[in-house]
Amino acid sequence: MRVLHLPGKIAYRYEDEEIRDLFDYFEPEITVTTRAKRSLKRRIERFSPYETVHLDSIDTYTTRNIGDDFFLFLREESALKQVDFSSCSDGRITVVTDMIKEEMDPKSFYFELTNTSIIDGLHEKLHDFNVLSTEIEAGKKPRYQGDPIYGFGPSFGMGGSKIPSVVTGDRPHIETLNSKKVGILAVPGLGDRFSAELRRRGIETRGDLCSLDPRDILDQDGIGPYRSTKWVSCAKAIEEHDVYRINRDDLKTKHRLFVDIETDSLNPSIIWHIGLYDDSRNKYRSFLEKDPDQKGRIIRRFMDHLEEHTGNNSVLLAWYGSGFDFPHLKSFIKKYDPERLPLWNKIEKIDFMYWTDKHAALPCRSSKLDEVSTRLGYEPALMGLDGEDVARIYTGYMEDRSKEPDWNELLTYAKDDVISMKYVYERVRKAPVLFDINDVKRDYRRR
């Protein structure tokens, strides 16, 4: 199930239609508010399809049972003695609190968790539970005695503020949404400048944009064939929760190989897994290196495979491949298998994230692969792990070989990344063409 956190410091600026749009996008079973004024709470309640819990209004604690999930909203540590957990013996237990925080030590400059005695108190009563803190930034997962505390608060940065939501389960899966991605601004690439220009023309909502032909907004003010086709098609895709193609499938006749790597960090000292899906053979191949001292072995095995199974028509596809997978693979090939660097250089490579952006209109408001694929209907075999998690797990294994990880779990995570790309491609390939950007370009040149 999904829980949405609407912080008052972000939500206060939304119009009613934008609040409704957030609920339509997230479809949360529970909405949690923090630091929201009474008028904002009433507005949120009016549009929330299910229950809303105002954390600031809880004196000590409150609980909710929804399906297999038991929620404890905790505001006072002493209340743990009063909570009856008997109704959740077979269910998932999630604790939501604003009491656990991260504070920086002024001497060491390290962040430390406060009120961790809450975790100790929970362990006295429960065997297994997850904790969400609305006071820790979404995406962070500080640990206390091995237990992760999942950040469920808003994040603020150069890219703007982000609203968090969580899909509960054995491991909570946290998603964030740029707080501007509501209403007409949910359309990719339609920022403040162009939305103001559209409003000047009387186009104020996504519905207004849906009713247009891309040719209706072509002009010399920066709105060319790509933007107009993308905006109109994406508005339609978001409104109808569907996928549309806007460009011809130039991968259709290619030998497609979807690839994803796992490393120990963003500046890797080892590539310890390479997942590869061969679309023509309908076969997934996993290359795993369990011995951190054998950094070149996986590279040579991978290149053996490419040498045997690729040709002039082959293309490697990786999500954000140009920014991560491809340059790191090249660097490791250059170091550990330099004789076959010419083979690597010869094979065509396409960043599948950018290809998807140029060829399709999606009902998504994020470019993260897991969020894109699940929004399109992909059901991952494993949720709750991310690249940072698996890198930390493997790094811990590198430091202490006695802490051998659950390899099946890591391999399942890695396979999801590759198979989800194949799934996205199939959704795009089979999608109807609402407007073909090539036709719009041709008409644009005739003007």
Helix (H) or strand (E) holding 102: strand 102-104
Q: What percent of the chain has pLDDT over 70?
A: 98
Give me the mean pLDDT over the 417-446 stretch. 93
Q: Over range 340-361, report the average pLDDT.
A: 97
**Three-state DSSP class for residue 284:** strand
The pLDDT value recorded for residue 4 is 96
DSSP annotation of 186 reads G
Give pLDDT tens digits for 36-75.
999 999 999 999 988 999 999 999 999 988 878 899 999 9
Segment 206-235 shows an average pLDDT of 90
Mean pLDDT of the 7-26 span: 94
CA distance 198 to 192: 10
What is the rounded CA–CA span in Å between residue 344 and residue 378? Answer: 31
By the 10 Å C-beta count (0-12 exposed, 13-18 middle, 19+ buried), 420 is classed as buried
User: Residue 317: exposed, middle, or buried by beta-carbon count in 10 A (0-12, 13-18, 19+)?
Assistant: buried
Whether the model clears a pTM of 0.75, i.e. scores above it, the answer is yes
Specify the pLDDT at position 168: 87
Residues whose CB falls within 8 Å of the CB of residue 413, separated by 6 or more in sequence, listed in order: 382, 385, 390
Q: Using the Cα atoms of residue 298, residue 301, residue 307 and residue 308 in order, give the sign of their dihedral.
A: negative
Answer yes or no: is pLDDT of 86 > 90: no
Q: What is the pLDDT of residues 119-155, one digit of tens each?
A: 999 998 888 899 999 999 998 999 998 889 999 999 8
Predicted pLDDT at 445: 80
Helices of type H across 211-359: 225-240, 297-309, 325-336, 341-346, 352-359
| 299 vs 85, more confident | 299
pLDDT score, position 306: 97
Mean pLDDT, all residues of the chain:
92
Rounded to an integer, what distance in angstroms lies between the CA atom of residue 232 and that of residue 215? 10
For each of the domains in the chain, give its residue range(s) and CATH number, in order of start.
2-178 (3.60.21.10), 183-242+432-445 (1.10.150), 255-430 (3.30.420.10)
Helix count and strand count (H, E) for the chain = 15, 21
Run of H or E residues at 3 = strand 2-7
Residue 105 in this model has a pLDDT that exceeds 90 = no
207-211 long-range contacts (CB < 8 A, ≥24 apart) are 207/235, 207/239, 208/184, 209/184, 209/235, 210/235, 210/236, 210/239
Give the tens place of pLDDT for each residue, 107-128. 666 778 999 999 999 998 888 8
Q: What is the pLDDT of residues 279-293, one digit of tens each?
A: 999 999 999 999 999
Tokens, residue 213:
């032909």
Count of Cβ atoms closer than 10 Å to residue 439 Cβ: 14
Give per-residue burial for 336-374: e unless 16+ CB within 10 Å, then b.
bbeebeeebeeeebbbbbebbbebbbbbbbbebbbbbbb
